[in-house]
Each structure stands twice: as structure tokens, then as C-alpha cells.
Chain A
Amino acid sequence: MAEAEGERQTLGGVDAFVARAKAFCERVGNATVSAISEVGLGAWLLFQVLFWIVMGRGRAQPVRIPATFERAMEVGIRALPIVTMMSVTVGMMLAIQGIYSLRIFGAEDQVTIGVAFSVAREFGPLITGILVAGRTGSSLAARIGTMRISQEIDALQVMGIDPIRFIVAPALIAMTIMVPLLTFWADVIMLAGAGWYVSMELGMSMGAYVDQIRELLRPTDVMHGIWKSLLFGVEITLVGVINGANVQGGAEGVGRMTTRSVVLSISAIIVTDMIFAFITTR
């Protein structure tokens, strides 16, 4: 009797384990499905925006230029101070670390090579992307999420105003223009910051530094970073919009989705960065 009882208990334990494993698999499965469907949603959004850009005017529902301009001001111009500050800092940081590691070989004066390539190909777009994700991606998610819970999106729809044309398209256009421009600006400022430190530390003249950079950097290196940043801009926008549109349950939901959008878009940027580098430099 007692034995049977014990056996049933272990069986119960196994059952519970199996149930838990099942639940776990289900969760993983669901997460995978929702991740894939979110990617699909992103592609659909992109398609819709292109559709409105091309077809909007013919349907007497153009993507509004003033709204796009306003978004561009917000994405680009207002981000200039923070991008500039961070770029100077990162540029100096790169110079400090470069000189430190090259000193091992006594090759400090080669630091320009490392700085030039890493800034143009990596740090310019990456730092800009992360800053824009934190600034604009989050505010986009919050804006759309708030509009959703206050029924502003519904109101647009019943007015016959497509929310994708009215809200998403201007944001996406602004991002694809402004993020590359910001990246170029970040490149210049980073190189300047690095050059300033190098000239102080190694006694190299600023003119010589600039000459070296111009000799080393080919347009393809700069464009590598610029193209990448364009992808980042698109990703940040889509992630922000999708998370905003998925907001459920009041202000708390907005906060949760805003955080999620920042984490996701920064992750997406880093992964894209790696893939892009892998594909284009091999």
C-alpha cells in the first residue's frame, strides 16, 4: 500500500516534469512564432509605407511633407547636441585605447589607421544608432502606444485617414534621411575628437593627422557605415512602431512596450551590424 503510494508520487513527479517541459516548449514555440510574425509585420509595414509614398498622391492622400519635415527636425536636428557630445567622447576613447595597445609594439603613430577604420565602419553608425534608438525609437513607441490607448488611432481610421500614411510614413522617411546624415556628422566629430587627443599625446600636428585620414579612408569605408546606419534607421522605426501598436493596458503597458522597443532595436542594430560586416567584408 505504502509502496504503491510512493510509486504514484514519483509518477506524479514525472508527470509534473513532463507538464512543465511541455509548457516550456510551448512558451518557446509561441515566442518563436510571435517573433517571426513580428518580422513579417515589419516587412508589411515597410511595404505599406512604400505604397503610400508611391500611390498616396494619386489617391489624393499624400504623405505630408510638413509632418515629415517636423519629424526630421525631431530625429536629426534635436539629436545633434547629444550625438556631438558622445562622438567627441568616443573618438577620444578610441585614441586612448589605440595608443595604449599599439605602444606594446612601439607603433603608437599607427593609431590613425585603427581610429579611421573603426570610426567610419563601426563606431559612427553604431553609436548614432544606439542614441537614436534611445531617443527616437522609444518616443515613437510611446507616442503610438498612447495614441492607441486613447483611441486616437481608431479616430484616424474612422476619419478615413490611414495611420500608416499619417504617422508611420513621415517617421520612416525622416529616419532614413536623418540617421545617415547624423552618422556622417558623428564620423567627422569622432575623428576630430580622436585627432585632438592624438595630437596632444603624440605631438602629431592636426594637419598631418587629417592628411593621414584622407589617405587611408576610401569612400567605400565611409559608405559602409552610412548604408548600415540607414538600415538601423529603418529597424528602429519599425521596432518602435510595432511595439507601440501592440500596447495593451494603459500607461503601464506603454512603459513596458517603450522599454521593449529600446532593448529590441538596440539588439537588432548590433546583430544587423555584425551580419552586414560579415557579408560585405569577406
Chain B
Amino acid sequence: MTAVDTETRETGSGASPPASHDEAASGRASKPRGKRRLGPGKAIPFGYLVGPLLLLGIWAWGSAQGWIDPRILSAPWTVAATGWDLWESGRLGPDLLVSARRFALGLTIGVLVGLVLAIASGLSRWGEAIVDGPVQIKRSIPNLALLPLLLLWFGIDERMKIITIVLGVLIPIYIHTHNGLRSIDGRYAELAETLRLSQGAFIGRVVLPGALPGFLLGMRFAVTSSWLSLVVVEQVNATSGIGYMMLLAGTYGQTDIIIVGLVLYALLGLGSDTIVRLIQRRALSWRRTLED
């Protein structure tokens, strides 16, 4: 057996440029500096809540001072009370459940379809030739404009609502995953060839993880898009759901109920975006970006 050199540290390796030169010159104590000089700096705990809370504060302040007419915008506490009443009387629960179900179903199917289309089009020229055009066409047609046709085709039942959401969701998933796939460094494909990776291993180990940042970005748009489509389908033609509840309230001039609906949409939207961001952080821990 040959003894192999097992030193564990490189001396002055090229990977991390020694930062000591200018520091010695400025005579600073040589402890690791806590903050990067350029870039956004360290993350604020729960920082993403600051903006929304600020908005809430302004709303509450304005209502308390009497600057905001309650007929235009009910006070936060009125909205909270109304929301509680709706919940107590059992009117909110079923609507919320129906909306959540549509959201989840539409999102899941949309993500799967978008993903399959992106992989087909990202990995095969024929796939791209067939898939990419129609997706780009769909991208330029707003869901609202498709609605009359979808209504004619699928009627006003659940199917039409889910399909509308799916159509909204698959676009961002497709665009960002496809882009992520195509921007994977070609040198990794070269490596895969020298290692004689099978097609399956290549997709599983190189393509999908490499496209994951793109996919997750698409996921954030998809979640938002799913809520937006939900609002649209529930307000155009529905007999249940949060949107329907708001529509009904609108005809009776019940501002507080409308706001309850809006707040629910906002909370659900923010909540689901937060979940995606948490997944993003965990799944992309191999990266070092300005985010960290």
C-alpha cells in the first residue's frame, strides 16, 4: 500500500481570496466581519411580515382617526368581528373549504402538467417544437378572455373552475422550469457523458436538480396565479366559495364582508408564498447567493 499524502488544509488556496491585505493596512482587528459590505446583509427574522404589518398599521390608524369612511373601507376590528361572526354562524367555513380545495387541486394538476411539458420541451427538440408554441400563445391570452369559451365548453361546474386554474398555473411553471433546464451549464452534460450516465440518471441527478431553482421561482408565480384564477372563477360564475360570498356581499353593500374575503385571500396568498419560500431555502441550501 502506498501512503497517500493526507494533509487536510490547503495553504493559501485559490478558492477563497485572502481578505487580510486591506485589513492589515487599515489596522482593523482581524476577526471575521459579521456583515458583507455589499449586498443586502443578514436576513431580518420574519422580515417578510414587516411590510404587511405596516399596511395593517396604517389602515388601523386611519380608521381610528376617522380618516377612512367605514362605508368605503371598514375598520380592521369591524372586519375581524364580521369574520368571526361569519365563522361562528357556519357561513365562512364551507366557503373557505371549497375555495381551498379548488386552489389545491388546480395548483397540483397545473404544476404537474407544467412540469411534464417543460421537461418534454427542455430535453427534446421535437418536444420543444410541439409544446413551446402553444404554451407561448396561451401565455399571451389572459385567463379572463378565455373564460367565456371555457364556460361554453365545460359549463359552470367544478371542472371548468379547476381547468381555468390549471391553465393559469402551468404557464409560470413551464416558463421558469424550461428556462432553468436550458440554462444548466453544458459542461455538466459533458461530465455526464464521460461518466456514462444513463438517461434516467442524467435527468434525476443533473437536469432536475439543476432546474430546481427555476422551478421553485415558477412555483411562487404559480401559487399567486392559482389564487388569482380562483378569484376570477368564483366571481364570474359560482354558487359557493369566498369569491361568491364577496359577490353576494357586494350586491347588499356589505363592505365588511367584502374585506373579510379580501383579507382571507391575502392571508392565504401570503401563507402559501411563505411555504414556497421555506421550501426554496431548504431545497437550495447547496447554493450561496445574496439571499443567504
Whether both chains belong to one complex is answered with no
Chain A interface (Cβ within 8 Å of chain B)?
none
